[in-house]
Structure 1
Amino acid sequence: MVRATFRYYRHYLAFLLAIEEINTNSQILPNITLGYQIHDSCGMELKALSGALDISYGTMHPVFNNRVQFPSFYRTSPNEEAEIDGIVQILKHFGWKWVGLIISDDDTGYRGREKFTYALTSYNACIAFSSVLKYNFYIYFNHENNIFQEIERTTANVIVLFISIKYTYSFAHLFSMYNIPQKTWITSSFFPNVMVYRQEELEIALNGSLSLLVQEGEIIGFKQFFYGFSPNKYTKDELTTDTWEKLFHCYFPRVVTYIPGRTYKTCTGNETLSDADLSIYGDHNYRVTYRVYTAVYALAHALHNLYSAQPPANHWDKLVNLKNNVNPWQINAAVKNEFGSPAAKFDILKFLFLPNNNIQKRKIGNVNVLSSKEIYVHVDSSVNLGLPHFDGIPQSLCNDPCAPGSRKSKREGAPSCCYDCVKCVDGEMSNRTDAPECLKCPEDMKSNLQRIDCIPKEINYLSYMDSMGSSLTSITLMLFCSTAAVLGIFLKYWDTPIVRANNQNLSCILLISLMLCFLCTLLFIGRPTQICCLLRQVTFGFVFTISVSSVLAKTLTVIIAFNATKPGSKLKKYVGTQLSIILVILCSLGEMGISLGWMASNPPFVEADMISEKDFINLMCNEGSVIFFFNIIAYMGTLALLSFIAAFLAKDFPDQFNEAKNITFSMLVFCSVWVTFVPAYLSSKGSRMVAAEIFAILASSSGLLGCIFGPKCYIIYLKPELNKRETRVHII
C-alpha cells in the first residue's frame, strides 16, 4: 500500500506546489491568495463530487464531453474514447487482426467493448474472445476459470486489457491463481496500478506488456520541492501527516491508542522521501501528477482572465474578498478550453519486469489522436517488441495470410477475419498478401504459373516453324512437284492415245490449276497479313473452281462424244469445238462474281482472337462474311456434284480410255472431304481451323490428281502395250 499511497501523495504535492507558485507570482493573481480544502471522497461524498464536477485531472468518462449537460466540466486528461482509438491504432500499426479482449464489469468496460468491436471491424479485424472481469471474484468464483480457459484456448497472440482502476486487484488475483499462457498484452492507463500487487506469476505473464499512458509532462522545480518537502509546514493537514506516517512507518505525537509491548517510532518531519522505496516511479516527468499541476494553473488563469476583463485596469488592488466577488458561472466563462478536454496525446510504454524487483519502462512510441479519423502513430523501429516471449513482432491472425497468387474466401460461420485462401484461376492474379479479390488480366495477357503477375500471351498462328506448319508445307511442295511431274509426263506423251483420248487441253488446265491449288495453301501458312487475308480464300476458290469445272467439262465431253456417234444425233456439231473451254470460263466467272461481291461488301481482315484460348492470342483472318465464304464452298460443291452425276452416268461407256469411272471416284472423294470439312472447320479455333482448311484443300486436290491421273501414268509406264491406238474401241 506504500506505493499506492505515494502515487496519490505525489499528486497532492504537485497540487501544493502549483498553489505556492501561483501565490508567489504577482503576475497571475496579484493581491489574491489561493487556498484549498481536501475532502475524503468516502467521508464527504457530496463535497468530493462537487469538486470533481469543476475541474478534474483524471476523469476519463466520455459523458462529460457533453457541453450542454456539463458546461462547467473540464478535464486535463484525454477521455477514454481517445484512449480506445489509440489502442486500436497500435493494433492496426502492427497488423494484429485477431485480438482477445478482457474488460471490467462496468460502464467503462462495456463501452470499451462496443467501441473496440466497431473499430476493429473498420479495418477487417475482429475479437477472438471477449471476457468480463468481475469485481467481487469471491462471489463469481467460476468466472476467473472461464477467463483463463478463454486465454488458454485462443489462438490470438495479442490480448487487450481495458478495465477500470478499481478492478486492478481482481485482475492481479486472476494472474496469481493461474499459469497464464505467454501473450502480448496491450493495456490501458490502469496498468501502472498493477505495480502495487506485484507477484511472480503476474510479472512472468505480463512481462513485455505494452501500455498506452497519457503523455508525460515536466513540472519544473518539482524535484526540489519533492525532496525538500516537510509535513511540519502543514501540521493541520491530516492527509499529509497520515500519508507521511504510512510512508516512513512512524507516528506524529498526538492522541492515539498504543498497543502495549510494541515499539513506536516518532516522526520528526525531517525524513526524506528519497529513503522510501520509490524507484519504481522513475524520474520526475509525470503523467497524472502533471495533470493535477496543470488543473490548478487552469483555474488560476481563468480567474486572471476574469478580472483582467473588468474595468478599471487597476482593480486588482481593490479586491478584498474573492469569494464574495466571483460566481462559478463567471469562472466557467473565463476558461478558454472550449470542449473541456485536452489534446489526446499518449506515450506507448513497454514494461519489463526484471530481477530484484526492478521494472524497466521504455517509451517505444507515441500516439496523437486529433480525432477519431485522424490519428498518428509512431513506433521506434529499433525496439524488439517481441521480447521476452517472442522473436520479433508477434503475429496475431485467425489464420495465416493469403499469399500473393491467391485471394481470401469467406469461411462460413466464422468471424470476418477468419477466412480460407483460394488460388486465383487462370487469367487472374493477385500480387499482394490477403488480396480480397483476384484481378482479371487484360485480354492480351495471361496469369503466370504463380498467379502473381500478368504476362503477355503468346501469339498463335500456323507458322512455318511449327511442326504442323512445316509438315503441311512439306506435303504441299511434294504434291506440287508430283503434279508438275504428271504435267511433264503428259507433255512428253502428248501424242499418245491415252493423253489424246481425254482432251489434252483440259488435262493441262486441270493439272495447272491443281498445282496452283497446292500452292494456294502457302497463303494460309505464316503470320496473317491483310493482303494474305484478302487473297487466300478468293484465290483458292477461283483456282479450285477451274479444277472442278475442268473435271465437269471433261465429263460432259465424254457424254457428248459418245452420244454424237448415234444416228441423227444433233450433238455432232459440238464434237471438236471449244465448248469445254467455254464451260470452264463460265464456271470461273460465276466464282469470280461471288468473290467480287464478297470483297466489295465485307472483305476478310486480320483479327487477334484473345478469347477463344486462355493462353494464346490467335492471330487469324476473320472471313468478314461467313455467308460469302460458304457460298464459295457451296458453289464448288455444286460443280463437283454435277461432275459426279455426269461421270456416274458415263461410267459404263464402251471406251478403253474412258475416265468417267475415275472422275466418279475422284468426285466422291472430293465431296466426302468437303462435307467433313464444314463441321471440323466450325468446331476449330486458331491455327487448327487453318490447318483443317489446308488439309481439305490438299486432300481434295490429291484425290483429283490421284484418281484421274494416277491410272493414266500407270498405263504410260507400267502398261505401255495398252497405250496404242488399235486397243481402243472408240476414240474420243
Structure 2
Amino acid sequence: MWITAVVLLVVNLSNYNIVALQDSSGLGCRLLDGSGPAILTEPGDFIIGGVFSLHNYLKTIEHTFTHAPEPLQCRGRSVTPQELRFARAMMFAIKEINNSTELLPGIRLGYQIYDSCASVSVATRATFQLINGLESTFSLSASCSKSSTVSAIVAESGSTPSIAMARVLSPFGIAEVSHYATCACLSNKQQYPTFSRTIPSDQFQAAALAQLVKHFGWTWIGAVRSDSDYGNSGMAAFLAAANTEGIYVEYSEAFYRTNPRSRVRRVAEVIRSATARVVVAFAAAGDMRVLFEELLELGFPPLQWVGSEAWVTDPLVTPFEMCLGAVGFAIRRAVIPGLRNFLLDLKFWESAFGCHLTSGPVGPGERVCNGSENVQQLQNAYTDTSQLRITNMVYKAVYAVAHGLHSLVCTQKNGSTLHCDRGMKPNPLQVLEHIRKVNFTLNGNRVSFDANGDPVATYELVNWQLSEHGQVEFVTVGYYDASAPEGELLTMTRNITWTGGQSQVPKSVCSESCPPGTRKAVQRGKPVCCYDCVPCAENEISNETGDETCHGVFVMNCGDACIPKPIEFLSFSEYLGIILAASSVVGACLAIAIAAVFYLHKDTPIVRANNSELSFLLLFSLTLCFLCSLTFIGQPSQWSCMLRHTVFGVTFVLCISCVLGKTIVVLMAFRATLPGSNVMKWFGPPQQRLSVLAFTFVQVLICVLWLTLSPPFPNKNMKYYKDKIILECDVGSAVGFWAVLGYIGLLSLMCFVLAFLARKLPDNFNEAKFITFSMLIFCAVWITFIPAYVSSPGKFTVAVEIFAIISSSLSLVMCIFVPKCFILLFKPEKNTRKHMMGKVPSKKNTKTISRKGRDIF
C-alpha cells in the first residue's frame, strides 16, 4: 500500500522536470518554461514557504543560442540526506503546531517546500514562485495577478542563495527566516531588512574562533575559505579578530567545489608546503570534501584543523580520518521529541537501501526492493537524530514564524488565547514585525531576535574523536557564550584529542621562543612573530625564554638560570673602608684636640701672635674636611652623591680661605714697615672675616649651579669589569666637578705664592714658611690626585679621593699647628713675648714689629 507513494516521492525528489503549460489562445494564466510546483506542499489557512538544497548540483547545460534554453534541472538521483531532514523537520514542526491547542488554535498552517539545488538561480526562481502564489494546478482562465498566500519563508541553507532570496523578498516585505545562512553581511538591515535567522552570525563565530586560536597559543596559522559570501565574509571577520589578538596568517586561500581541479590542487599544495601546523577553515562541507580529496592524493604531514560550524559536524567529511583531532564550533545540540519516528514514516527506500521500487528491468549491480528492509534499524545521515544542530534551527525558525503569526492574528487576555482570525489576510510587514518581537522557550532553548534579526550566539566546541567502534564522533569539549563576561567567553569541559591522537596541544608558531641568552631579531618582510634568535651582545643578557631584548645588565652567566653579578662599592665593612674611615675620624679628633689646646692657651703670646680667630676657624674647617671623607664611603645614593661633592668643595674652600687670610695678613704686616703706614687698617679682623666669607660664597654659588643644572647621581659602572658591577657616583656635569676642584686649586696656588713671598720674614713671628711647606704638600697631593683619580678602577677611585682629602688636610694640621702645639705643651719657656720678639736687627724695627705683632696678630 505504500509502494505507490514512495515511487511518486522518489520521482519528485530525484529528477523532477516540469513541462510548461501552454495556452495556444493566449488567454488565462500559465507557468513559464522552467517554472515548477513545490516539491512538498500542504494547504492551510496560512502558508509558510521553505527552500532547501535537496540536491547539491545543477545539470550542466551548454547554450547554443539556436533555440530556447532548457529548464534548470538538479543533477543526481539521490537527495542530500541532511537537507531532506531539514525539510522534513519543517513539516514535523508544522504538524506539531497544527495539533497544538495553545499555538494558533483553530488555524491550520500549510507549507510549500522547494528545492534550490544549492543554486542561486534556482533559489531565486523558487522565491518568485512563492511570491506569486502560483499553485501546482492551474486554470487557463485564472488570473496571474492574485496575491501570495505565503506568510513567511524558511530558507536557505547557504548564505549566497539566502542573499539572493533576501534581495528579492525585501521589496515585498516578506519575512525570510534562515536556519543555516551565517554570513555576517546579512545582519545589515539596510540591505536585507526582512531577513532574520535562528543561527548566529559569522561575526560571532569569527570572534569565537579567534579566541580559540589564542587560547591554545597558536600565533602562526593558515587559512582557507569557500569562495562564496559565507566563506569570504566569515574569513574577513576572523582575520580582523585574529589581528587584534596577535595572531598572524601565513596564507589565506579561497576555492569552490566547482572550480577547476588545478585551482583546488594549488590550494592543497600551498597548505602542504606551508610551515603553519594549524589551519582554520571557513568553508562549506562540500568544499572541504573536495579539498580533503586533493590533500589525500598529495600526502601531507599531520595538520591541526580548526573548522567553522558549516563543516566541522557534517557527516559528509567524516570519512577523512586524516582530520581526526579537528576542533571547531558547532551549533548546540538539541532534542526534538518524536522527530525520528516522523522521519521514518518517509519510506525513502531507494536512497537508504540501494534498491529500486520499480518492477521493470534493472541495470547491472542494481536490485529491486522486496519489502524486507527494516527502517527501524537504519542509521544514516537522514535518520540520525543524535546530532540535531541545524535541524533544530529549522525547527526554531518554523516556531518563530508561528509565534509571530499567533501574536498577530490571535487575541489574548491574561496569557490565554481568546480567538484567532483564520480569515485574516495580514500585511507581510506586519508578520515581519511580530516575528522580530517573539521571545519564547522551545525545548529548553530561548528563541528571540535582536535589532539585526540575529539570535544570542552560543556554540559548542566539538572535537573529532575515534569511538570504541572505530567511527568518528563529535565530542563536545567546551562551550562559547558571546553574552558571557570578558574572560569567561570560552570554557573547557574535557580534554581534547589532537591530530595524530596526541594529548599535548600542538605548536604552530612561525619561530620557536628564543632560549635564555638570546633575543628576537625580526625577519625582514615577515610578521613580527617570525624572527631569528640572536645571541646577546657582550655585557647583556636575557634571562627568560622568549625575551624580545637583552636587558639583564645585572647578570654575569647565561644559561637556563642566571646568576646576578656582584655589586661592588667602597663600604664601611671592608678593610680599606675601615682604614680610611678611621683615618678620617682620627684626623678630625686631632683637629679638635689642637683647638682645645689653643683654647686653653688662648691668652699666651704664641696663640695671640698666630691670629687666634682665623686659627679656630681653620681648625673647624679642617675638622669638616676630615669628616667629609666619610660621605664617600658606603653605597652611593642620590643624596649621598650630591652631599659628598658639595661638602668637600665648600669645606676645602673655607679651609684654604682661612689659610689665605693668614698668609695675606702675615705678608702685609711685615711689608708695611714704614712709620705712619695705614695699610694694615685694610686687613683687620672684619676684613679677614669678609674675605673668608667672599671666597667661600663663590664656591657655594658654583655648587648650587652644579646641583641645579646637572647634579651627581649614582651610576652602575660596568666598563672596568665584566663579572661585576661598580656602584659609583657619576659627577653629572664634568664642568661643575672640575670647576669645584679648579677653584680650590686656584686658591691653593694663590696661598702658596703669597706664602713663598713671605718665607724670609723674621723667624719667630713668621709662620709663612710653615704655610709654604703645607701648601706645597697640599698642591702636590691634588696634582697627583688627578691622574690617579682618572686611572683608578672601580671603588679605588673613591679611595684615591678620600686619601687626597685626608692627606691634604693632615698636611695643614701638621705644618701649621703641630709646631705651635709642641711649644705650648713641651716648650713653654718659648711661649713668651720676649722670645716672640727675638732675632730683630735694630731697635727701630723691634718696636715696629712688636707693635704689628701685638695689633695684627
Letter of the structure 1 residue corresponding to residue 401 of structure 2: L
Letter of the structure 2 residue corresponding to residue 361 of structure 1: F
Residue 613 (structure 1) aligned to one of 692, 712, 715: 715
Would the alpha carbon gap of residues 198 and 595 (structure 1) be closer, same or farther in structure 2, given more than 3 Å must change?
A: closer
8 A contact 2:518–2:541 mirrored in 1: yes
Q: CA deviation at 1:348?
A: 0.8
8 A contact 2:311–2:317 mirrored in 1: no
**Partner SS, residue 299 of structure 2:** coil
Would the alpha carbon gap of residues 432 and 79 (structure 1) be closer, same or farther in structure 2, given more than 3 Å must change?
A: farther
Q: CA deviation at 1:450?
A: 10
Residue 114 (structure 1) aligned to one of 224, 236, 261: 236
1:349 counterpart = 2:454: no
Consecutive unaligned residues of structure 1, counting only runs of 5 or more, are 232-240, 441-445, 488-499, 565-569, 713-724
> In the alignment, what sits opposite 1:141?
262
Computed over aligned residues only, the root mean square deviation of the Cα atoms, in angstroms, reads: 6.0
Deviates further, 411-420 or 550-559: 550-559
Q: CA deviation at 1:160?
A: 0.4
1:276 counterpart = 2:351: no
8 A contact 1:550–1:584 mirrored in 2: no
**Partner SS, residue 258 of structure 1:** coil
Q: CA deviation at 1:408?
A: 6.7
Q: CA deviation at 1:354?
A: 4.7
8 A contact 2:332–2:389 mirrored in 1: yes
> In the alignment, what sits opposite 2:332?
215
> In the alignment, what sits opposite 2:83?
8
> In the alignment, what sits opposite 2:224?
102
Deviates further, 600-609 or 410-419: 600-609
Q: CA deviation at 1:328?
A: 3.6
Would the alpha carbon gap of residues 468 and 179 (structure 1) be closer, same or farther in structure 2, given more than 3 Å must change?
A: same
Q: CA deviation at 1:301?
A: 2.1
Q: Distance in 1 between matches of 2:430 and 2:366?
A: 55
> In the alignment, what sits opposite 1:150?
270
1:526 counterpart = 2:638: no
> In the alignment, what sits opposite 1:29?
104
Q: Distance in 2 between matches of 1:326 and 1:596?
A: 102
Letter of the structure 1 residue corresponding to residue 331 of structure 2: V
What does the per-residue CA deviation read over 1:547-576, in whole Å, with 9 as the maximum and x for residues that have no partner? 56666777788989xxx9xxxxx58x99xx
**Partner SS, residue 207 of structure 2:** helix
Q: Distance in 1 between matches of 2:707 and 2:627?
A: 13
What does the per-residue CA deviation read over 1:555-600, in whole Å, with 9 as the maximum and x for residues that have no partner? 788989xxx9xxxxx58x99xxxx9xx8899656632554479889
Identity of aligned residues (%): 26
> In the alignment, what sits opposite 1:48?
126
Deviates further, 464-473 or 278-287: 278-287
> In the alignment, what sits opposite 1:395?
507
Q: CA deviation at 1:12?
A: 3.4
Letter of the structure 1 residue corresponding to residue 196 of structure 2: Y
8 A contact 1:640–1:670 mirrored in 2: no
**Partner SS, residue 208 of structure 1:** coil
Consecutive unaligned residues of structure 2, counting only runs of 5 or more, are 1-75, 131-152, 156-164, 166-175, 437-448, 559-563, 596-604, 632-638, 718-726, 821-834, 847-857
What does the per-residue CA deviation read over 1:25-58, in whole Å, with 9 as the maximum and x for residues that have no partner? 1332333322333333249655534553433322
Would the alpha carbon gap of residues 429 and 293 (structure 1) be closer, same or farther in structure 2, given more than 3 Å must change?
A: farther
Q: Distance in 2 between matches of 1:661 and 1:331?
A: 120
**Partner SS, residue 254 of structure 2:** strand
1:332 counterpart = 2:432: yes
Would the alpha carbon gap of residues 409 and 119 (structure 1) be closer, same or farther in structure 2, given more than 3 Å must change?
A: farther
Q: CA deviation at 1:127?
A: 0.4
Would the alpha carbon gap of residues 382 and 41 (structure 1) be closer, same or farther in structure 2, given more than 3 Å must change?
A: closer
Q: CA deviation at 1:101?
A: 0.7
Residue 258 (structure 1) aligned to one of 342, 348, 362: 362
Would the alpha carbon gap of residues 60 and 659 (structure 1) be closer, same or farther in structure 2, given more than 3 Å must change?
A: closer
Normalising to structure 1: TM-score of the pair? 0.69
What does the per-residue CA deviation read over 1:618-655, in whole Å, with 9 as the maximum and x for residues that have no partner? 59999xx99899766644542222112343xx49x9x9
8 A contact 1:214–1:345 mirrored in 2: yes
8 A contact 1:483–1:511 mirrored in 2: no
8 A contact 1:86–1:367 mirrored in 2: yes
8 A contact 1:98–1:158 mirrored in 2: yes
Q: Distance in 2 between matches of 1:458 and 1:610?
A: 23
**Partner SS, residue 189 of structure 2:** coil
Matches within 5 A, 1:38-437: 38-42=113-117, 45-46=123-124, 48-49=126-127, 50=130, 51=153, 52=155, 53=165, 54-136=176-258, 139-141=260-262, 143-144=264-265, 146-192=266-312, 195-196=315-316, 198-199=318-319, 202-203=320-321, 205-226=322-343, 229-231=344-346, 241=347, 243-252=348-357, 254=358, 257-259=361-363, 263-267=367-371, 271-278=373-380, 284-308=386-410, 316=420, 319=422, 325-336=425-436, 337=449, 338-354=451-467, 356-370=469-483, 377-380=489-492, 382-386=494-498, 388-401=500-513, 410-419=522-531
Higher helix proportion, which one? 1
What does the per-residue CA deviation read over 1:394-424, in whole Å, with 9 as the maximum and x for residues that have no partner? 3322233478999876543211433567999
Q: CA deviation at 1:110?
A: 2.8
Would the alpha carbon gap of residues 382 and 457 (structure 1) be closer, same or farther in structure 2, given more than 3 Å must change?
A: same
Q: CA deviation at 1:185?
A: 0.9
What does the per-residue CA deviation read over 1:86-105, in whole Å, with 9 as the maximum and x for residues that have no partner? 21221122232211111223
Letter of the structure 2 residue corresponding to residue 290 of structure 1: N
What does the per-residue CA deviation read over 1:518-572, in whole Å, with 9 as the maximum and x for residues that have no partner? 6544311335899999987666555555556666777788989xxx9xxxxx58x
Deviates further, 667-676 or 52-61: 667-676
What does the per-residue CA deviation read over 1:369-400, in whole Å, with 9 as the maximum and x for residues that have no partner? 359x9795333264145464544223322233
8 A contact 2:326–2:498 mirrored in 1: no
> In the alignment, what sits opposite 2:50?
none
Q: Distance in 2 between matches of 1:81 and 1:657?
A: 103
Deviates further, 695-704 or 507-516: 507-516
Matches within 5 A, 1:496-515: none
**Partner SS, residue 212 of structure 2:** helix
Q: Distance in 1 between matches of 2:486 and 2:126?
A: 36
Q: CA deviation at 1:219?
A: 1.1
8 A contact 2:663–2:755 mirrored in 1: yes
8 A contact 1:2–1:247 mirrored in 2: no
**Partner SS, residue 366 of structure 1:** strand
**Partner SS, residue 177 of structure 1:** helix
**Which fold has the larger relative contact order, with Cα–Cα distance below 8 Å and residues 6 or more apart in sequence?**
1
> In the alignment, what sits opposite 2:17?
none
Q: CA deviation at 1:288?
A: 1.0
Letter of the structure 1 residue corresponding to residue 506 of structure 2: P
Q: Distance in 1 between matches of 2:712 and 2:518?
A: 24
Q: Distance in 1 between matches of 2:697 and 2:769?
A: 35
Q: Distance in 2 between matches of 1:693 and 1:85?
A: 67
